[in-house]
C-alpha cells in the first residue's frame, strides 16, 4: 500500500513537518505523502484515537512513525504546549501545514455570534496561533516553510459566511507573514482546495449532500478533486522546488471559480484524476451516486 507520489524519493529526509488536522481527510493524506518522502511528521489534532490510527497507518506503510500531539488549535496554551512537544521529539521544525479547520452550513441571518466566532477561531485564529508559535519557537532561527489550507471562497461563500470570512482573512495573513518573515528565511503560502471528495463531506446534513452529488456540473473539469491532488500542491510548496514562491495561493479546484453562467460547459469525462493515496477516504453517498473517487472519474497516472 505504498503512496504513489510524483515527487522524488527522500525529498524531505531528516525534515520535521507538522500537519494539523492530521487525523482524517486531507490532513491524513498529506501526512502519508510527507512520510513516504522521508519526513518526520508531527500530527496535531483534538482526538487522540484518530491521530494514533494515522500514525499506525504511516508506520505500516513503511514511513517513520509520526509523533502525535493532542491540541485544540483555538487554545493558545495548548498550541504552545503542542509545539514544545514537537520540538522535544526533535528540532528544528522545517515545515507547518495549517490544515485543521471546520465549519457548518447556515444562512448568514441565522449564524449566532458564538457560531461565527467558533468558525473564525477554527479557520483563522487557530492557524495564526500555530504559525506564530512555530515561527517564534523554531523558524525565526532556522527558517522553514508554512502552507495554510484555505477553501474555494472566491466571489463569496453563500451558506458559509463565517468560513468565507475566516478563509479570506487567512489569505491576507499568508501574504503578510510572507513579507514579515522573509528575513528569517521563512516562506508562507496557501493552498485553496475546491470540491475535494474527502471524509469531511460525511459531516454535512442531507440537504447539503444532495447538492454535493450535483456539484460536478458547476466545475469545468466535470469532477470532484481527490485528496492526493490537494496533497501534491502542498508538498510542492513545502519543497525546495518552490524556493522562490512565497505569499501566493495555489488553487486546486478544477477552475470552478472561473466558470461563467454565459459560457456553456458541456459534460465530458476528459479530466483524469490523480489518486496517489491508496487509503484515500471514501464518501459513500458520492460513491452510490457515481461521483466518488472510485467512480465517475478517470484514473490518471
The secondary structure of the chain, three-state, reads CCCCCCCCCCCCCCCEEEEECCCCHHHHHHHHHHHHCCCEEEEEECCHHHHHHHHHHHHHCCCCCCEEEECCCCCHHHHHHHHHHHHHHCCCCCEEEECCCCCCCECHHHCCHHHHHHHHHHHHHHHHHHHHHHHHHHHHHHCEEEEEECCCCCCCCCCEHHHHHHHHHHHHHHHHHHHHCHHHCEEEEEEEECCECCHHHHHCCHHHHHHHHHHHHHCCCCCCECHHHHHHHHHHHHCHHHCCCCCCEEEECCCHHHCCCCCCCCCCCCCEEECCCCCCCCCHHHHHCCCCCCCCCEEEC
pLDDT at position 297 is: 46
pLDDT at position 290 is: 74
Cis peptide before 132 (omega within 30 of 0): no
Would you state the torsion angle of the CA atoms of residues 109, 217, 276, 174, taken in this order, to the nearest 10 degrees?
Answer: -40
pLDDT at position 215 is: 87
pTM of the entire predicted model: 0.94
Mean pLDDT per 10-residue run, the chain (301 residues)? Answer: 94 97 96 98 97 98 96 97 95 95 91 96 97 98 98 93 96 98 98 90 76 87 95 98 98 96 93 95 78 49 32
Distances (CA, A) of 51 to 43, 46, 81, 227: 6, 8, 17, 18
**Cell numbers placing 297:** 472519474
pLDDT at position 205 is: 75
Domain 16-206+226-258 superfamily per CATH: NAD(P)-binding Rossmann-like Domain (3.40.50.720)
Amino acid at each position: 500500500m505504498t503512496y504513489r507520489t510524483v515527487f522524488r524519493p527522500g525529498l524531505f529526509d531528516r525534515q520535521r513537518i507538522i500537519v494539523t488536522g492530521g487525523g482524517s481527510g486531507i490532513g491524513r493524506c498529506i501526512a502519508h505523502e510527507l512520510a513516504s518522502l522521508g519526513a518526520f511528521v508531527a500530527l496535531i489534532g483534538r482526538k487522540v484515537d484518530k491521530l494514533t490510527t494515522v500514525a499506525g497507518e504511516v508506520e505500516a506503510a513503511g514511513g517513520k512513525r509520526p509523533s502525535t500531539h493532542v491540541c485544540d488549535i483555538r487554545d493558545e496554551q495548548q498550541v504552545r504546549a503542542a509545539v514544545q512537544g514537537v520540538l522535544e521529539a526533535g528540532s528544528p521544525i522545517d515545515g507547518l501545514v495549517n490544515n485543521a479547520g471546520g465549519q457548518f452550513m447556515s444562512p448568514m441571518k441565522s449564524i449566532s455570534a458564538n457560531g461565527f466566532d467558533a468558525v473564525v477561531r477554527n479557520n483563522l485564529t487557530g492557524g495564526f496561533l500555530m504559525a506564530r508559535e512555530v515561527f517564534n519557537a523554531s523558524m525565526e532561527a532556522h527558517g522553514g516553510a508554512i502552507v495554510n489550507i484555505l477553501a474555494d471562497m472566491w466571489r463569496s461563500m453563500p451558506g458559509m459566511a463565517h468560513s468565507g470570512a475566516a478563509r479570506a482573512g487567512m489569505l491576507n495573513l499568508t501574504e503578510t507573514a510572507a513579507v514579515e518573515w522573509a528575513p528569517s528565511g521563512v516562506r508562507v503560502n496557501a493552498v485553496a482546495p475546491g470540491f475535494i471528495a474527502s471524509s469531511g463531506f460525511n459531516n454535512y446534513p442531507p440537504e447539503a449532500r444532495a447538492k454535493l452529488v450535483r456539484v460536478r456540473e458547476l466545475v469545468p473539469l466535470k469532477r470532484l478533486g481527490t485528496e492526493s491532488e490537494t496533497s501534491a500542491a502542498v508538498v510542492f510548496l513545502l519543497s525546495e522546488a518552490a524556493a522562490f514562491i512565497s505569499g501566493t495561493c495555489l488553487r486546486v479546484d478544477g477552475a470552478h471559480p472561473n466558470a461563467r453562467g454565459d459560457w456553456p460547459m458541456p459534460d465530458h469525462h476528459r479530466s483524469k484524476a490523480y489518486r496517489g493515496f491508496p487509503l484515500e477516504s471514501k464518501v459513500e453517498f458520492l460513491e452510490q451516486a457515481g461521483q466518488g473517487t472510485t467512480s465517475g472519474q478517470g484514473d490518471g497516472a
